[in-house]
A and B are shown apart, each in its own frame.
Chain A
C-alpha cells in the first residue's frame, strides 16, 4: 500500500513529545496504510523502531505502517450523558456518564445500580441548590457574642446540643455509607448525598462549638438515644433507610430546629439552629422525591416502608426513647425561667412541638401515598427519640 500521510516531528524526539505528532497522523489513516516520518531528532533511528514495536505498527524504512490492534474494539458508551439509564452495569464503573468505556475493564460491585431505586428528577436541582447554599461556619455564626445565661439554662442548651451532635452524626454516616454503594452513573444522586453528608459535617461542627462555647465538656448521651440511631445505621436498604432517616427523622428535626430557633436563649443557638434547618429541608425534600418516584414504579414499596416503621418500633419498644434530660431541657428553654407558670407554658409548647412533629410525619407519609389513617398510625410509631 502506498504512503497516504506524513508526520513532521519538527525536530522533537519520540520520547519528548514527538509521539503525539506521529500518533495524530496515524489516527487519520486506516490499518495497513502508511505515514512517512520526517524531521525527527538525531535519535529517531533508535526510538522509532522501539516505538513501532511497542505500539504494534510495522516500520518500513521511514514509513510507519499502521497496525491492526485496536484497543477500542468492543468499547461501549456508559449510557448517554443527559439521561441516566434504567440499569447501570458493573462494567461502566467510575466512567463519566456517556463516556466510551474500554472493554475488559474491572467489574465494580455497586448494589444500588437500578434507576428506580435511587433516582429523583429533583436531584440535580437540589444538588445545585445545596452547593450554592453552603455557609461558612466561621463567618455565618456570631461566635463572638458569648452567651451569658443562667447556669441551668446554659446546661439545658449544652444538653440539647449534645443530643443534636449524635443525631447529626448518624445523619452523616447513613448517606455516606450509601454513596459508596451507589453506582456513580447516577451522578446527581451521588453528589447530592455527598453534599448532604457535608451539610451534616457542618451541623456537627456548629453544634459542638455551641456546646463548648461556655462549658468545657458536652452533656449526656443515653443508651436509648443511641439504640434508636443505631437502627438507622443498621438498615441496609436505601429506600427504607431514606424513609426512616430523611422523611420521618429529619422531617421531625425540621420542627425541632424551628422550635429551638424560636426559643433560643442566645444569638449563637438561634443562628446554628436556623442554618441547620435550611439544610435539613433539602434532605427531607430529596428523601420524599425519590421515594415518591420509587413508589410509583414499585407497588410493593409502601408495604415495605410500613413494615420497616413497625419493625423499628418493636426493636425500640424496650428503650426509654427521648432522654428525660433532653425533654426537660427543651421545657426549660421554652419556659425561659423557673417560675411555675412559665414552666407550665414551656411544657405546653413542648407538647405542641410533639404534635407538630407527628402532624409533619403523617403529612409526609400521605405524600408518599399512604391513606390518612395509615399515615397517622405509622407516624405515631416513629421513635420517641425524634430522629
Chain B
C-alpha cells in the first residue's frame, strides 16, 4: 500500500489532535488516504518537509517563509496551496494606556511589550512597523518579550495576554497584539472598557497556509479542502475548532511585511 497523503501540524494546543483526528476519516471517506504527524515546533516541521517526511505542512507565516528560503538554497520551490478565510488581511495594533504616549515618536525610550520572540503577529510585524516609523527596537525603546511556548510562532495567545496585562498594571508603556485579540480581550475582560487605546495599527498581512514543495501532488487534498462546507455538520465542529468558515486557495501576497521583518531582524533561518 502506498503511503497516505501525510500532513504535518504543530501541536500548540491539545485541540490539534481533535482537529486532525476528525479530518482524517473525512478525507478517507472522500477517497484520499490521509494521515498526519504532529510536531512540537515549526522548525522541526520545516525540516521534516524538506526531508520529504510530510507532503503538506500546516505552516505559520514564519514557517512558510523559513520553508521558502530554505527551499531556495536547495534549488527547490514552495507553494501556498490553501489557507483559512481567517488567515487573510490581519492587522496588529500597538496599545497604550489612556494618557500615555500619543504618537509613535513618543514611544522613544519606553518599554514595549511584545509576544513570543518568534510571533509574527505580536512581535515581528509590530516591531517592523515601529522600525519603519523610525524607532529601532532595542536601541530606541526597550523590547519586553513574553516568551510563551517558543517554537510555536505565537500560535498560543498567552504571550499577548501577558503583555496586555503588564500594560494595564504599568509594567509596560505599550503592548503589541493582533487585532482579533483586541476584540477578544475586550470581550473577556482582559482589557477594560476605558483606560487603553490603540496608538498604531500595522498594514494588513496574511497568516497560516498549507505549504507544499515542488514535486508533491497535492491536487486532491486541495480539492477536498475547498469543497468543505460550513453547512455540513460533519466538518462544522472541526472548522469551528480550527477557526474558519471556509478554506480559500492559497495566496502569497500577504507575507511582504514578514519578509521585511526577517530581513531586518535576523536569526530565524532554518538551515
Q: Is B237 an interface residue (CB 8 A)?
A: yes
Whether A15 lies near B233 (C-beta < 8 A) is no
Provide the residues of chain B in CB contact with A56, threshold 8 Å.
85, 230, 245-246
Q: Which residues A65-93 have CB closer than 8 A to chain B? A: 67-71, 73-74
Which single member of A16, A45, A68, A69 contacts B186 (CB below 8 Å)?
A: A16
Say which one of A46-54, A193-201, A206-214, A266-274 lies at the interface with B: A46-54
Q: Say yes or no: A46-B186 contact (C-beta < 8 A), given A54-B180, A69-B245.
A: no
Alpha-carbon distance between A356 and B231 when the two chains are bound, in angstroms: 64
Q: Is A13 an interface residue (CB 8 A)?
A: yes
Q: Mark B169-182, 1 if CB is under 8 A from A, else 0.
A: 00000000001101
Provide the residues of chain B in CB contact with A54, threshold 8 Å.
86, 180, 183, 243
How close is A12's CB to chain B, nearest CB, in angstroms? 9
Whether A46 lies near B85 (C-beta < 8 A) is no
Provide the residues of chain B in CB contact with A102, threshold 8 Å.
233
Alpha-carbon distance between A105 and B198 when the two chains are bound, in angstroms: 39
* A47 closest partner in B (C-beta): B183
| A14, A50, A54: most-surrounded residue (chain B CB, <10 A) | A50
Alpha-carbon distance between A15 and B191 when the two chains are bound, in angstroms: 10
Alpha-carbon distance between A71 and B191 when the two chains are bound, in angstroms: 29
Which single member of B86, B182, B197, B234 contacts A15 (CB below 8 Å)?
A: B182
Whether B187 lies near A43 (C-beta < 8 A) is no
Alpha-carbon distance between A42 and B182 when the two chains are bound, in angstroms: 13
Provide the residues of chain B in CB contact with A74, threshold 8 Å.
231-233
Q: Is B185 an interface residue (CB 8 A)?
A: yes
Provide the residues of chain B in CB contact with A46, threshold 8 Å.
91, 93, 179, 182-183, 198, 201
Provide the residues of chain A in CB contact with B86, threshold 8 Å.
53-54
Alpha-carbon distance between A71 and B197 when the two chains are bound, in angstroms: 34
Alpha-carbon distance between A50 and B198 when the two chains are bound, in angstroms: 14
* B196 closest partner in A (C-beta): A43
Q: Which residues B68-107 have CB closer than 8 A to chain A? A: 85-86, 88-91, 93
Whether B245 lies near A15 (C-beta < 8 A) is no
Q: Which residues A33-48 have CB closer than 8 A to chain B? A: 42-43, 45-47
A-B contact count (CB 8 A): 79
Provide the residues of chain B in CB contact with A71, threshold 8 Å.
230, 236
Q: Say yes or no: A43-B193 contact (C-beta < 8 A), given A49-B179, A67-B245.
A: no
Q: Say yes or no: A104-B236 contact (C-beta < 8 A), given A15-B185, A15-B187, A73-B231.
A: yes
Whether A45 lies near B197 (C-beta < 8 A) is no
Q: Is B4 an interface residue (CB 8 A)?
A: no
Whether B245 lies near A50 (C-beta < 8 A) is no
* B182 closest partner in A (C-beta): A46
Whether A50 lies near B183 (C-beta < 8 A) is yes
Q: Is B195 an interface residue (CB 8 A)?
A: no
Q: Mark B190-227, 1 if CB is under 8 A from A, else 0.
A: 01010001100100000000000000000000000000
How close is B119's CB to chain A, nearest CB, in angstroms? 17
Q: Which residues A3-19 have CB closer than 8 A to chain B? A: 13-16
* A12 closest partner in B (C-beta): B193
- Place the interface of chain A in its size category: 20 to 34
Provide the residues of chain B in CB contact with A43, threshold 8 Å.
182, 197-198
Q: Is A94 an interface residue (CB 8 A)?
A: no
Provide the residues of chain A in CB contact with B109, threshold 8 Å.
none
Which single member of B183, B187, B197, B231 contacts A69 (CB below 8 Å)?
A: B231
Q: Is A352 an interface residue (CB 8 A)?
A: no
Which single member of B186, B191, B234, B246 contacts A104 (CB below 8 Å)?
A: B234
Provide the residues of chain A in CB contact with B198, threshold 8 Å.
42-43, 46
Q: Is A103 an interface residue (CB 8 A)?
A: yes
Q: Is B52 an interface residue (CB 8 A)?
A: no
Which single member of B89, B93, B233 contacts A53 (CB below 8 Å)?
A: B89
* B188 closest partner in A (C-beta): A15
Whether A49 lies near B182 (C-beta < 8 A) is no
Provide the residues of chain A in CB contact with B185, threshold 8 Å.
15
Provide the residues of chain B in CB contact with A50, threshold 8 Å.
90, 179-180, 182-183
Whether B182 lies near A47 (C-beta < 8 A) is yes
How close is A62's CB to chain B, nearest CB, in angstroms? 16
Q: Which residues B146-188 have CB closer than 8 A to chain A? A: 179-180, 182-187
How close is A380's CB to chain B, nearest CB, in angstroms? 56
Alpha-carbon distance between A71 and B230 when the two chains are bound, in angstroms: 7
Whether B201 lies near A45 (C-beta < 8 A) is yes
| A42, A68, A69, A102: most-surrounded residue (chain B CB, <10 A) | A69
Alpha-carbon distance between A197 and B86 when the two chains are bound, in angstroms: 51
Whether B179 lies near A15 (C-beta < 8 A) is no
Whether A49 lies near B231 (C-beta < 8 A) is no
* B177 closest partner in A (C-beta): A46
Whether B179 lies near A47 (C-beta < 8 A) is yes
How close is A31's CB to chain B, nearest CB, in angstroms? 11
| Beyond A46-B182, A103-B233, 12 additional pairs, beta carbon < 8 A | A13-B186, A15-B183, A46-B91, A46-B93, A46-B198, A53-B86, A53-B180, A54-B86, A54-B243, A69-B230, A71-B236, A73-B231
4 closest A-B pairs (Cβ-Cβ)?
A15-B186, A104-B233, A103-B233, A56-B245
Chain A interface residues (CB < 8 Å from chain B): 13-16, 42-43, 45-47, 49-51, 53-56, 67-71, 73-74, 102-104
**22 A-B interface contacts by CB (under 8 A):** A15-B185, A15-B186, A16-B186, A16-B193, A42-B197, A45-B201, A46-B93, A46-B198, A47-B179, A47-B183, A49-B89, A53-B88, A54-B183, A55-B245, A56-B245, A68-B230, A69-B231, A69-B245, A70-B231, A73-B230, A73-B232, A102-B233
